Amino acid sequence: MTPGSVDHKNRDMQRSFHVSFNRSSNLSDRETESLKQGTWEIDCPNMSLKGRSKPNAALFSGAGLIRQNADRGFTVRLYSTRQRNFDASAWNALRSGTIVPDCAFYDLVAQDSKGREWHSHQLLPNFNQTARGKNIIEGYLSFLSCEGRIPRHIRVIGSSIAFKVFAHIEIPKNETTIRRQSTARGQQRAVSRSFTAWKFRCSGLDFLVVEEAPDGLTINVRYAKNKLPANLETRIIEAFQFVLGKPIPWTILQKRAARKTTTVLQAQPLRGMTSRLMAPLPPQRIIDAKTNKLTTSHHRRLFASFLRHIIDSEQPQHPLWGQLNAAYEASASTFLDAKALTLTVAIESIVAGEFSKLGNLSQPDKKAVEAALSLLQNWNGEQKIKNRIIGSVQQILNPRTGDRMRELVTRRAITPEQNKAWQKLRNASAHSYQASAIAHEEFIKLVQQNEVLFYHLIFCAIGYKGPYLDFSSEGWPIRQYPQNP
């Protein structure tokens, strides 16, 4: 073999490595640890910031950096060496109390020193200038995304999703994890086993959730097909939040669909949210009534029922998650009245959204109301009063939340006591906010009853039947839903 052929082979290897490297979206272990500590930072030899005004959008380019702040958000700094079509009119026109126009936002593309290309949208930058007139542009990023591609010589099957959560969240566990350590070139080896994983399968997805000591959680999901369903990562997080009863504040999301890989970094809220809304099931394994053994099967069934119900939704966030999130936010406050009002409104919204076909008038009753409206139309009274009376009668045609709740009681989806507790707390919270005549202990009891009602409505909507934690009763016993007649 001639020296020239060796050089040619080396060039091919370098070219192959260069292509693979530039198309990577992977994070190193050191980067993952720095993201956990809030110290992640990358240098970017090439950055560009492009405005959204068309057709002559502003463009800034140059070197810069992206770093994680102490509050776990991300900031960008661009030292612009090139500037084009910058027009300050959009910025000068901004006024307090008005919506920021789309043309004031910028989109970021940054190539870091490892060849990865990061993207972020809707950046609202701050412009500063050096003594020589050069622009230094800074801004806050709520998320960053990077795409890559796996080389063809590497065999891949199906798709996967992985979340890294840097917070303590307790999970039901049914599997052990094995950790191996080797030091001094293998002279000392250590193997440890710990019961820290939850493994299950549902909806064609394989899940492995692992607690990372002391304050971390890894969620791994495998899918047999090469194309991931739309919004699947959002639906998975929504389902985990429901079952575990806590927000899942992930920092790193890594997806792979066939050979395409995507890494997303998400900024964390300025303060940690400590929800006081109880989870529908305890976080530990519970005893199965049939086998008398500890199991996580009920957690899996609850998770599967919720995921099946929401997975095909085309909305970015499912309405049920919206009500859950509102309850989490309100329960994080120490102000019990805010929790009570939010909870009762959330119940009302779930009843309207998930049980909209209930409570409708029968056909004979509808005809009777329509006949009454016809008579009112021919009444010769004062028009203002006439319109008010007709409007009031027309409301009878629209089912009220109370009508739907009574039908849910008839169907044994909820109990008569829960219906009464909701009506009492709803009226007190909406009409006597902070001035309720209800005694404090009774008020707390009503809130607890409404929390259980909140979950029972979701159980009914998603078709779940099984155990739940009854925190409206002393000792928080585990009961069965629905209750036996």
Residue at 185 is within a domain: no
Q: Are residues 83 and 204 in the same domain?
A: no
**What is the model's pLDDT at position 112?**
94
Residue at 13 is within a domain: no
Q: Are residues 399 and 295 in the same domain?
A: no
Residue at 12 is within a domain: no
Residue at 11 is within a domain: no
Structure tokens at 225: 């097909």
Residue at 32 is within a domain: yes
**What is the model's pLDDT at position 466?**
94
- Structural domain tally of the chain? 3
Q: Are residues 476 and 341 in the same domain?
A: yes
pLDDT tens, residue by residue, 308-353: 999 999 888 899 999 998 888 888 877 788 888 999 999 999 999 9
293, 314, 335 — which closes off a domain?
Answer: 314
- Say how many C-beta atoms besides its own lie within 10 A of residue 118's C-beta: 23
Q: Could you give phi then psi for residue 214, rounded to 5 degrees?
A: -90, -15
Closest by CA to 141, choosing from 50, 72, 91, 62, is 72
Q: CA 172, CA 248: separation in Å to the nearest integer? A: 15
Helices 319-332/336-354 angle, 10° precision: 170
- Considering only 6-20, 161-175, 197-211, 282-296, which range has the smallest mean pLDDT? 6-20
Q: Are residues 331 and 458 in the same domain?
A: yes
Residue at 106 is within a domain: yes
Q: Are residues 32 and 87 in the same domain?
A: yes
Q: Are residues 340 and 462 in the same domain?
A: yes
Pairing of the two strands 466-469 and 478-481? antiparallel
Structure tokens at 285: 């394994």
**What is the model's pLDDT at position 11?**
40
Q: Are residues 344 and 232 in the same domain?
A: no
Q: If you average pLDDT over residues 271-291, what whole number do you get? A: 82
Pairing of the two strands 106-111 and 74-84? unpaired
288, 314, 340 — which closes off a domain?
Answer: 314
Q: CA 104, CA 116: separation in Å to the nearest integer? A: 27
pLDDT tens, residue by residue, 388-413: 888 887 777 778 898 999 999 999 99
Q: Are residues 141 and 154 in the same domain?
A: no
Q: Are residues 161 and 105 in the same domain?
A: no
Residue at 31 is within a domain: yes
370 vs 94: which has the higher pLDDT: 370
Domain range for residue 160? 150-177+193-314
Beta strands in 184-303 (DSSP E): 188-202, 205-212, 216-223, 250-257, 260-266, 286-287, 294-295
Q: Are residues 247 and 364 in the same domain?
A: no
Residue at 8 is within a domain: no
Structure tokens at 407: 């039908």
- Considering only 105-114, 168-177, 191-200, 454-463, which range has the smallest mean pLDDT? 191-200
pTM: predicted TM-score of the whole model, two decimal places: 0.85
Contact partners, residue 317, CB within 8 Å, separation at least 6: 234, 238
291, 314, 337 — which closes off a domain?
Answer: 314
Segments in 125-198 forming alpha helices (H): none
Q: Are residues 340 and 241 in the same domain?
A: no
Q: Are residues 336 and 450 in the same domain?
A: yes
